[in-house]
């Protein structure tokens, strides 16, 4: 090693560290600050009931965020997740027997068949998105925007301005039931997060997802079927949204038009705030979990200290903006380090 190299290495080493770890350090630091702040401001923040409430409120968002994590890791985006979740929840009600005084068209089917058809509907919608992105070549931003409108149309057509609240017993149990005081929705979300982490970390498919997001051309030269991977993550995202829609309507107690409107921004925020790169190739389920906790603690804490609801929206927006700035800056650091 020359004298020039030895004097240059500490700076470049620090730059490399910042480039690699900024996305991970910032959200963890944010989470710690929020926890300490709200613990001081509210004596009930650390109560068991409140902590379970945070996890419960984050569970449906977490299921949607799992699918979004796969999509964003490939450098794509899915804007249809919330609308699709709502459409699938309503579709499940469409397949379930409703009381006569609820004016919603139904095809009464046994619970198991109802669930299977509902999941198949979610996968089918995801396949349409995948086909548009990979075969026709429509950018994912535009294709999923169109799919969002289609899903909203399906919701309006089926529910016709009414409210449905009868669902298969198994879904009602998973969405609204508890076991030993713990909501089943938390357990389902936790298992899905664990399974997704194992897939991304220990399977060939997971490695291909990171490769496609990190360097698409290099992935193609390595023999990776890039279109197949992108199509697969779009279907995964739709399936996760469908599951969230099924459990969500049971969790809320009703299926109605625009019931999931707030979940698009929340789910994207959870993935981005957690540190997964919008440019693809960096991040993962661990980052998504941190992002979910940051948003969950923030929303819960602001409710506990009874802050103005309009100010709450502003604070969430500022935190998302800060995460985007860190995301872009970390990407520039990475590119600068690579060039150096």
Q: Write b or e for each residue in 290-311: b if 16 or more Cβ atoms lie within 10 A of its Cβ, otherwise e.
A: bbbbbbbbbbbbbbeeeeeeee
**Neighbouring-strand partners of residue 179:** 182
Give the separation between CA 310 and CA 182, rounded to whole angstroms.
31
For the whole prediction, is pTM greater than 0.85?
yes
CA–CA distances in Å: residue 306 to residues 30, 41, 54, 57, 62: 21, 11, 16, 18, 25
Give the separation between CA 47 and CA 69, rounded to whole angstroms.
30
Output the six-digit token pair for 260: 């999931």
**Kind of pairing between the strands at 178-179 and 182-183:** antiparallel
Query: What is the Cβ-side half-sphere exposure of residue 224, based on CA atoms within 13 angstroms?
Result: 25
- pLDDT for res 101: 46
Closest by Cα among 339, 276, 330 to 17 = 330
The full length of the chain comes to 340
Q: Give pLDDT tens digits along the chain (340 positions).
A: 444 444 445 555 555 555 556 667 888 888 898 899 999 988 899 999 999 999 999 999 999 999 999 999 999 999 999 999 999 999 988 888 655 545 555 566 667 888 888 999 999 999 999 999 999 999 999 999 999 999 999 998 888 778 877 788 888 888 889 988 899 999 999 999 999 999 999 999 999 999 999 999 999 999 999 999 999 999 999 999 999 999 999 998 888 888 898 899 899 989 988 888 888 888 899 999 999 999 999 889 888 887 777 787 788 788 778 777 776 776 666 655 555 5
- pLDDT for res 95: 82
- pLDDT for res 168: 85
């Amino acid at each position: 090693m020359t004298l020039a190299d030895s004097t240059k290495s500490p700076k470049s080493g620090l730059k490399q560290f910042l480039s690699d770890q900024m996305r991970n350090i910032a959200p963890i630091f944010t989470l710690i600050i929020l926890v300490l702040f709200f613990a001081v401001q509210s004596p009930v923040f650390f109560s068991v009931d409140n902590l379970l409430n945070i996890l419960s409120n984050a569970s449906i968002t977490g299921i949607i965020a799992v699918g979004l994590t796969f999509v964003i890791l490939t450098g794509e985006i899915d804007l249809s997740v919330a609308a699709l979740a709502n459409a699938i929840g309503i579709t499940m009600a469409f397949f379930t027997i409703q009381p006569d005084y609820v004016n919603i068209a139904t095809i009464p089917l046994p619970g198991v068949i109802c669930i299977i058809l509902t999941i198949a509907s979610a996968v089918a919608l995801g396949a349409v998105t995948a086909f548009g992105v990979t075969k026709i070549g429509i950018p994912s931003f535009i294709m999923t925007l169109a799919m969002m409108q289609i899903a909203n149309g399906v919701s309006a057509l089926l529910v016709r301005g009414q409210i449905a609240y009868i669902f298969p017993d198994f879904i009602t149990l998973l969405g609204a039931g508890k076991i030993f005081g713990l909501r089943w929705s938390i357990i389902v979300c936790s298992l899905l997060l664990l399974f997704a982490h194992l897939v991304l970390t220990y399977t060939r498919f997971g490695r291909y997802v990171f490769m496609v997001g990190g360097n698409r051309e290099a992935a193609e030269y390595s023999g990776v079927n890039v279109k197949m991977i992108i199509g697969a993550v779009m279907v995964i995202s739709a399936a996760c949204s469908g599951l969230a829609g099924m459990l969500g309507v049971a969790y809320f107690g009703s299926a109605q038009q625009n019931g999931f409107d707030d979940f698009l921004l929340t789910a994207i925020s959870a993935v981005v705030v957690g540190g997964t790169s919008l440019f693809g190739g960096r991040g993962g389920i661990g980052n998504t979990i941190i992002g979910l906790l940051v948003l969950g603690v923030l929303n819960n804490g602001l409710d506990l200290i009874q802050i103005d609801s309009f100010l709450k929206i502003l604070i969430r927006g500022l935190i998302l903006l800060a995460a985007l700035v860190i995301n872009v800056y970390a990407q520039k650091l990475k590119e600068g380090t690579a060039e150096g």
